[in-house]
Amino acid sequence: MKANKFDEAFDENQDDILEHLDLTKAKRPLQSQRRVNVDFPSWMIDSLDREASRIGVTRQSIIKVWLAERLESQENKHHHES
């Protein structure tokens, strides 16, 4: 599909444009990942699993989102203090 046709399909929401993309090599800039292992108490895993199930995401997803929210909050707090 030519770029102008792709743009037109996107702008007009004609069809699913994802079928025209090869996402196998897609990367998020500045989002390289590193694996870490963290031990949690059983009660915490159970609570994480219940909350993840309640909102329909994986345990890993909820951990990432909650950590990101906390880190962003801390960053904002420290930024306003200086």
Please list, in sequence order, all residues whose beta carbon lies within 8 angstroms of the beta carbon of residue 45, skipping any fewer than 6 positions away. 59
Contact between residue 1 and residue 18 where contact means Cβ atoms under 8 Å apart: no
**pTM, whole model, 2 decimals?**
0.57
Q: What is the pLDDT of residue 54?
A: 93
Q: What is the pLDDT of residues 42-62, one digit of tens each?
A: 999 999 999 999 999 999 999
Please list, in sequence order, all residues whose beta carbon lies within 8 angstroms of the beta carbon of residue 9, skipping any fewer than 6 positions away. 1, 15, 17, 20
User: CA 41, CA 66: separation in Å to the nearest integer?
Assistant: 17
User: CA 18, CA 22: separation in Å to the nearest integer?
Assistant: 8
